[in-house]
Amino acid sequence: MKRKKEEEEEDEEIGTRALKEGGRERGKWGTDGGKCGSEDLLGEGGFGYVYKGRIDEHTFTASKPGSGMVVAVFKVIKVAIGAAKGLCFLHNAKSQVIYRDFKASNILLDALRSTEFNAKLSDFGLAKAGPTRDRTHVSTQVMGTQGYATPEYVAIGRLTAKSDVYSFGVVLLELLSGRRVVDKTIAGME
């Protein structure tokens, strides 16, 4: 039991440590004359200031912090590319990290200026250390959000970096189509 708790604590720290190591070259993220007020500020940490930017819950489109304005498709693509770079960093780190719960709500949008969005990954609670030595996968208890996990992971608990790539594809499909992967308002969707 003690070993499992230690393993869980280590897993929680993996993602945060990896991102902090990669984020050192970036300076403070501020509003730089943007229109983000203190009510839009989520917090300040090792990466600087993070402001609210969100994927709208009804239209599933990115919206400008505090404005409710829908963002152009090229900005949505920019957010997707930023999130992909975050996953790429985790997967190619010296000690590989598998995010395991990649979904739109775990992508924070930082408005460096009022018109720019910088994607930042959040919620590393389910992150796992990747396979080591000659292993191809990590066998683990299935966790994450319904609809985003690979069928292989759900069926037999085999986790690889490709699992995150699959989840990224689901999020990209959601962002570009404007539909959720699981929509309980549609009859027959569970």
Residues 84-120, buried b or exposed e (16+ Cβ, 10 A)? bebbebbbebeebbbbbbbbbebbbbbbbebeebbbb
Catalytic, out of 32, 40, 56, 101 = 101
- The phi and psi torsions of 171 (rounded to 5 degrees) equal -65, -45
CB atoms within 10 A of CB 3: 7
Q: What is the SS3 assignment for 63?
A: strand
Two tokens, residue 14 = 């993996």
* Pairwise CA distance, residues 129 & 152, whole Å: 18
> Residues comprising the binding site for ATP?
75
* Pairwise CA distance, residues 71 & 111, whole Å: 12
> Residues comprising the binding site?
75
The residue assigned the tokens 């959000």 is: 145
**Catalytic: 101?**
yes
Torsional sign, CA 32, 109, 185, 187 = positive
Please list the active-site residues: 101
